Structure 1
Amino acid sequence: MPRRLFALLLGLCAVTGCGVPSEERAVPETGASPKASARTIERAEAVQAFELLQQLDDAWRDRDCAAVEQLTTWAENTLGGRACEATRNGRPAPTREEYGDPEFFLPAEAGEDRWFVALAREPRPAYFLFVHEDERWRLAAGPIPADGGDAPEPRGGAVPSGDPSTGVKARLVPQRYLTYLTDPAGVSGVRFPKGDVAAELLAELGRRPGTVRPDRLTTDVRLLVGPQRALLLPGGGALVVHALEIEYRQRPGAGRSSLARPIYGKDDLRGFTGSVRAPELTGTEIVLLVTEITGEGKVSTVAVRRGLASLTTG
């Protein structure tokens, strides 16, 4: 697996910029949640919601999985479920940096679907998606560190906008990743720039089965179910926050009763399964992404984080 991609793990995907942080106004993208109250989000409320990151850090440090459950939703909830339980079996808890200097992108109109995106600039640019659910703010995704330290900065509202084509393009971004990663021959015509995280991941998916022989390894790539969020960029482009699931299934080769080369280390095996030996295993990883799509429809990954959400043996 490329070291560059792992360096982004738990640290982990979704931007640099100069000047004084400012609020960007947006229109909610997705449908309403019946349990949420329809009112505008003020900056003070976003600032208070951002502070729950410290509570979440404390919960991970204390291995308080009930608190992790309460403070998260969507991708972060998936990453905090069995992974949090695994820390009680000796798996190291994720080390999280203290993020600050946030800029908030808030919906301009009252809506029952309440969410906002924060772009923290310190200690390095990273995106966070917060969602109001069950009468409280929860972290849905983040941190998603900027890849390479340079990424476009949102200037408009949320997608869809007055230009319907921008909303259509943004909604298709996750599917383009799925098509690309499940089409190694490139028949579909979907392309990412050389050196893009998506291109590195595709190369890894093709290379990894050969690294575990005589074991057998199969892979399934899926979209992580849930509403995507998108912020407008100048020129009809957008930044899209979304996520993928990658499931690895590793089985022993012919004539063997256990794995010769498990793709996950002993800390992961012991934490998730209680044993360092595996007759076979199934691991599910979550890849959080922030993607730029230009007005011309070109896509590139601007932020990424990857984490192991589940590991079972059988």
Structure 2
Amino acid sequence: MPRRLTALLLSLCALAGCGVQTEGRAAAPGAGPSPEASARTVGRAEAAQAFELLRRLDDAWRDRDCAAVERLTAWAESTLGGRACEATRNGRPAPARKEYSDPEFFLPATAGDDRWFAALAREPGPAYFLFVHQGDHWRLAAGPVPVDGGDAPEPVADPDGGAAASAVPGDDPSTGVRARLVPQRYLTYLTDPAGVSGVRFAKGDAAADLLKELGERPGRVRPDRLTADVRLVVGPQRALALPEGGALVFHALEIEYRQRPGAGRSTLAHPIYGRDDLRGFTGGARAAELTGTEILLAVTEVTARGRLSTVAFRRALAELSTG
């Protein structure tokens, strides 16, 4: 399948701290962090309070309050809340959002200037969330990212009963290097249909299914012409250590689809996006050509031997134009 690969530089931001505290499941949010807690570390009460912003974000989507969506999101979620939120004002349905609860928090013991934490919500189904402190408040950077298939892997346990997981420093000579290369290896796999790079995912993995789709989709829309450009979403890398030298990596990619009419046609025969998307993003129900950008959120496990598997996966349309 013809594909134009746009290379973006992956921001290799060293992850703050090596210890991560786990605070178990969330209780009701407290009154907010104390002056001491607001220094650099993230405590359980602060994480629980930050997790509550999901309700405010749900309200913002329901009310089509795009300014609030922007204020409560960062990184990949901010991209998904931009034009996509504006499209809901033109009749595109707002994303169906579940009320997630029963979270387990993974909290960096020291965070430096990069304050973040991850959460794994158990109800109504396991899903990962990534929160970052940006400006003067917490924002949702990624989530929900539903667990794909089996159980979510357990981070490294502290035999002394202290930290339940550790953040992986990006400059660590072993695990850190493997974790840092995960987004690029994921990208390489999706842009290498012949498999010459040697990057592998098991059959049934979300990445393998997506690679298959990228190869088959152009044939399904003929006589239209369809090309795809897969890129990394640049941003700080964050990962949690897993047993036996593995890591759980949070990352994101984007796919830009370009669909054009076949020879002798002035309109598309098989638009890959539906009328609600077309009307919401473009204002019309038909188009002579389309350019759509989808964001892919992934939580990927890399083992000590470098084997990759997609643990959690979510995909959403972020932009659609007729040019």
Shared fold per TM-score greater than 0.5? yes
Alpha-carbon offset, residue 95 of structure 1? 0.9
Q: Is the 8 A contact 1:159 1:232 kept in 2?
A: yes
1:120-269 correspondence to structure 2 within 5 Å: 120-155=121-156, 156-160=165-169, 164-269=173-278
Give me the whole-angstrom Cα distance separating, in 2, the residues matched to 1:61 and 1:154.
35
Q: Is the 8 A contact 1:125 1:149 kept in 2?
A: no
Alpha-carbon offset, residue 23 of structure 1? 2.8
Q: Is the 8 A contact 2:84 2:317 kept in 1?
A: yes
Q: Secondary structure at the match of 1:23?
A: strand
Letter in 2 for 1:53: L
Q: Secondary structure at the match of 1:40?
A: coil
TM-score by length of 2: 0.85
**Deviations along 1:104-153, whole A, 9 cap, x unmatched?**
11111251110000111111110000000011100000000100141212
Q: Is the 8 A contact 2:170 2:180 kept in 1?
A: no
Q: Is the 8 A contact 2:170 2:179 kept in 1?
A: no
The answer to whether structure 1 residue 299 and structure 2 residue 300 are counterparts is: no
Q: Is the 8 A contact 2:126 2:152 kept in 1?
A: no
2:10 aligned partner:
none
2:283 aligned partner:
274
Q: Secondary structure at the match of 1:193?
A: coil
Q: Is the 8 A contact 2:205 2:310 kept in 1?
A: yes
Give me the whole-angstrom Cα distance separating, in 2, the residues matched to 1:266 and 1:109.
48
Give me the whole-angstrom Cα distance separating, in 1, the residues matched to 2:147 and 2:86.
28
2:23 aligned partner:
23
The alignment covers a number of residue pairs equal to 282
RMSD: 1.5
Alpha-carbon offset, residue 161 of structure 1? 7.9
Letter in 2 for 1:311: L
The answer to whether structure 1 residue 95 and structure 2 residue 104 are counterparts is: no
2:50 aligned partner:
49
Q: Is the 8 A contact 1:88 1:271 kept in 2?
A: yes
The answer to whether structure 1 residue 285 and structure 2 residue 294 are counterparts is: yes
Alpha-carbon offset, residue 162 of structure 1? 9.4
Give me the whole-angstrom Cα distance separating, in 2, the residues matched to 1:161 and 1:218.
34
Q: Secondary structure at the match of 1:239?
A: strand
Q: Is the 8 A contact 2:130 2:140 kept in 1?
A: yes
Q: Secondary structure at the match of 1:244?
A: strand
Alpha-carbon offset, residue 224 of structure 1? 0.6
5+ residue gaps in structure 1? 1-20, 25-36
The runs of at least 4 aligned residues of structure 1 exceeding 3 Å deviation read none
Q: Is the 8 A contact 1:100 1:121 kept in 2?
A: yes
Q: Secondary structure at the match of 1:164?
A: coil
Q: Is the 8 A contact 2:224 2:270 kept in 1?
A: yes
**Deviations along 1:142-189, whole A, 9 cap, x unmatched?**
000100141212123001289521000000000111111111011111
Q: Secondary structure at the match of 1:242?
A: strand
2:78 aligned partner:
77
Q: Is the 8 A contact 2:104 2:121 kept in 1?
A: yes
**Deviations along 1:166-213, whole A, 9 cap, x unmatched?**
000000000111111111011111100111000000000000001111
Give me the whole-angstrom Cα distance separating, in 1, the residues matched to 2:171 and 2:283.
53
Q: Secondary structure at the match of 2:284?
A: coil
Q: Is the 8 A contact 2:106 2:117 kept in 1?
A: yes
Give me the whole-angstrom Cα distance separating, in 1, the residues matched to 2:123 and 2:178.
31
5+ residue gaps in structure 2? 1-20, 25-37, 157-164
1:103-118 correspondence to structure 2 within 5 Å: 103-118=104-119
